[in-house]
Amino acid sequence: MKIRHNFKNLKVWQKSVDLAVKVYKITKGFPSEEKFGITSQMRRASVSIPSNIAEGTAKSTSKSFVNSLDISLGESYELETQAIIANLVGLLDKDEFIALDTEISEVQRMINGLISTVESNPY
């Protein structure tokens, strides 16, 4: 029998939702010519992280859940790359970048931890 996770209770989901909200707030200050560029890319990647975690909780096997978590992890690395680029081209100042990068790294560690837990305790 499949044990369904309540994704809203997962700390990693909560933290990744907070990250997505932060990305929306930060990118609100980006120039309008970036609306369909890095602003859109960063927002989509950030929203995809908790979305894939939530989707994974509905999967019928541990392997499927881990696959969804892997996708979330990949999106977090995509977001990290976009933040680096935004910093390098002057869209994010140093302090904003450091804070965002720290939060992204924390979410990555949490996703990796959940992957390890699910793989160690398959259902």
pLDDT tens string 78-93 = 999 999 999 999 999 9
Residues 6+ away with beta carbon under 8 Å from 66: 56, 115, 118, 119
Q: Is the pLDDT of residue 3 over 60?
A: no
CATH of domain 9-120: 1.20.1440.60
Whether 19 and 46 have beta carbons less than 8 Å apart is answered as: yes
**CB atoms closer than 10 angstroms to residue 67:** 16
The confidence band for 60, taking pLDDT boundaries of 50, 70 and 90, is confident
Listed by start position, the domains of the chain span 9-120
Task: Supply the pLDDT for residue 6.
Answer: 87
Confidence of residue 1 (pLDDT cuts 50, 70, 90): very low
